[in-house]
Chain A
Amino acid sequence: MDKDSILCRCEDIDLAGMKELLAAGARTLDEIKRLGRLGMGPCQGRTCLPLAARLLAEHLGCPLEEIELPAARPPFEPIPLGALAGEVDTVD
């Protein structure tokens, strides 16, 4: 990877952007997400979070499994508001 390598395709975050956040003191994926928008786009981090987790583990010098993933938030894939509005009373 070089500095222009894209980590988060949805929000256009490259490796240099991630390194800036680490340099600014971010030490959790949640902080990187909230400050840098990484993982906030339509795919909700499916591509970028594993990459970012590896980079964060390297940066902190800790095993990958110690990196906490941000909460997985519904919906599991993007849904139009119109479809949700038309939903009849089947699940609740």
Chain B
Amino acid sequence: MINKDAVIIGGGITGCSTAYHLARLGLKNVAVVERGHLTSGATGRCGAGFRHQWSTEANCLLAKHAIARLMTLADELDFPGGLEIKLGGYLILAATADLAVQLRENVALQNRLGIDSRWVSPEEAREIAPLLNTRGIVGAAFCARDGHANPFLTTLAYARAAERLGGEIYPHTVVRDIKVAGRLKTVSTSRETFQTPVVVDAAGGEAASITAMVGAGLPVYPYRHQILVTEPLEAALTPMILSFHHHLYCQQTPHGSFIMGLGDPNEPPGLNINPGWRFLREMAQKVTSLLPALAQVHVVRQWAGLYDMSPDSQPVLDELPQVEGFYVAAGFSGHGFMIAPLTGELMAQLILGCPSTLPMDMFRLSRFAGGHLQLEASVV
């Protein structure tokens, strides 16, 4: 039996950021328990982008604080190699008049919250991304402060910083069972057994199966999302191209490869992460119509990962009402990586009862009982 001040379940970006922030605020005897290796879940499978351009205040504020933190994160975490940050912007295409209205409203909200995004004409969009075929495009929203960061390096930087402060990472360790006796929780795993007053569920697509171990439901469901990467080429595409009409995103990484994915509105919930043939064809058809020059570029690899979707596409950062000391950081709905520099801090503040960087009501589970949800519209 190993005694810990906190056990975090999930060695992705959220778990590692939470471990670091807990240690920084004084709770140092913390374990991160990870089923595979660090980033083997959603973090290491994601599109590696970050953006300010959201449609709800909660997501805009999360992004704004998190991205500001990300800009100096390599220094903060003493990670000299850097995090492969590229500030190429996100160009969000409006292919219909309705989308144009929605994106303009988003820009107005973002500007009100101090985010420097703007509406651009198809001609301006082509100046920002000369490879772009703007036929059928009404206009686009653009924020130059959006970009790319390397999820593997960012997670590793948090994990190493947490370890230096006293935290411990337990990779290849599968949580089997959690027993609650008063304030103490016993977390049994495939390797060690931990006793702790604090458990943090940061298990991504498996988050609801972890809360089920203590008899609590969680309205967070996993959905497969598919993605591919091409051979590397000379830099040719500066911004991330995002189109909600096509359910598509595509960016060129600092390494030179193009990474792109599609959302499938017909994907059923479930833990399937097998890549499929249909995606490859649909992705190729859509991306070569928007970026015709990519027709010559070779696909080298396709894979899939899980979005952990919440009912309003915004995260749940809360303590379970049924189990004191059992916290949930899940429901990231496809943007957990980019907001983790803040969500890890919010979780640590919540657990330790410190003043919070953002009001926490918008992240509580109780919002789902109220009926009036602010739905995030800008999700691929």
Q: Do A and B come from one complex?
A: yes
Asked whether, in the complex, the Cβ of B287 is within 8 Å of the Cβ of A35, the reply is no
A48 to B153, CA, bound (A): 22
Contact of A44 among B230, B255, B277, B300 (CB under 8 A): B300
Residues of chain A within 8 A (CB-CB) of B296 are 80-82
Contact of B281 among A28, A30, A85 (CB under 8 A): A85
How far apart sit A80 and B231, CA to CA, in the bound complex (Å)? 10
Q: How many residues of B contact A (CB 8 A)?
A: 35
Asked if residues A81 and B297 are in contact (CB atoms below 8 Å), the reply is yes
Interface contacts beyond A73-B303, A84-B299: sample of 12 additional A-B pairs, CB < 8 Å, sorted by A: A40-B301, A41-B300, A42-B298, A71-B303, A73-B302, A74-B277, A81-B295, A82-B288, A84-B283, A87-B284, A92-B277, A92-B278
Q: Which residues of B (1-60) have their CB < 8 Å from a CB of A?
A: 36-40, 44
| Beta-carbon contact of A81 and B300 below 8 Å | no
The yes or no answer to A14 lying at the interface (CB within 8 A) is: no
CA distance A48 to B294 in the complex (A): 28
| CB contact list, B289-309 vs A, under 8 A | 294-303
Q: How far is the CA of A3 from the CA of B300 in the complex (A)?
A: 28
| 6 interchain pairs, CB-CB under 8 A | A40-B301, A42-B300, A74-B280, A81-B230, A81-B297, A84-B280
The minimal Cβ–Cβ distance linking B39 to chain A, given in whole angstroms, is: 6
Whether A85 pairs with B288 at a CB distance below 8 angstroms is yes
Whether A81 lies near B302 (C-beta < 8 A) is no
| Nearest A residue (CB) for B299 | A79
The A contact surface, by secondary structure, is loop
> Please, what's the 1-or-0 string for B299-342, where 1 marks a CB less than 8 Å from any CB in chain A?
11111000000000000000000000000000000000000000
Please list the 4 inter-chain residue pairs (A to B) with the smallest Cβ-Cβ separation, ordered nearest first: A82-B295, A78-B298, A84-B284, A85-B284
B275 at the interface (CB under 8 A from A): yes
CB neighbours of A81 from chain B (8 A): 230, 284, 287-288, 294-299
By a CB distance below 8 angstroms, the chain A residues around B37 are 27-28, 30-31
Is the beta-carbon distance between B231 and A78 smaller than 8 angstroms? yes
Give chain A residues whose Cβ lies under 8 Å from the Cβ of B287: 81
Question: In the complex, which residues of chain A have a beta carbon less than 8 angstroms from the beta carbon of B302?
Answer: 73-75
CB-CB contacts of A33-50 with B at 8 A, as 1s and 0s?
011010011101000000
Q: Which B residues have a C-beta under 8 Å from some C-beta of A?
A: 36-40, 44, 152-153, 156, 171, 229-232, 255, 275, 277-278, 280-281, 283-285, 287-288, 294-303
Judge whether A37 and B278 touch: CB under 8 Å. Answer: no
Question: Which residues of the partner chain A approach B36 to less than 8 Å between Cβ atoms?
Answer: 30
A87 to B284, CA, bound (A): 10
Complex CA–CA separation, A34 to B171 (angstroms): 15
| Chain B residues in 8 Å Cβ range of A91 | 277
Contacts of A27 in B (CB 8 A): 37, 171
Measured CA separation A87–B279 after assembly (Å): 12
The answer to whether B275 touches A73, judged by C-beta atoms less than 8 angstroms apart, is yes
Provide the bound-state CA to CA distance between A69 and B298, in Å: 24
Say yes or no: B255 contacts A80, CB within 8 Å.
no
- Residue numbers in A under 8 Å from B301 (CB-CB): 40, 44, 73-75
Q: A30 vs B303: C-alpha distance in the bound complex, in angstroms?
A: 14
Q: Which residue from B38, B39, B281, B300 sits with its C-beta under 8 Å from A87?
A: B281
Nearest A residue to B257 via CB reads A40
Residues from chain B with a CB closer than 8 A to the CB of A44 are 300-301
The smallest beta-carbon distance between A34 and chain B, in angstroms, is 5
**A85 near B297 (CB under 8 angstroms)?**
no
- Whether A85 touches B285, Cβ cut-off 8 Å, given contacts A28-B37, A35-B153, A37-B255, is yes
Determine how close the nearest CB of chain B comes to the CB of A51; give it in whole angstroms.
19
| Alpha-carbon distance between A40 and B294 when the two chains are bound, in angstroms | 19
In the complex, which residues of chain A have a beta carbon less than 8 angstroms from the beta carbon of B303? 71, 73
Residues in B neighbouring A28, C-beta threshold 8 A: 37
Most buried by B among A44, A80, A85: A85
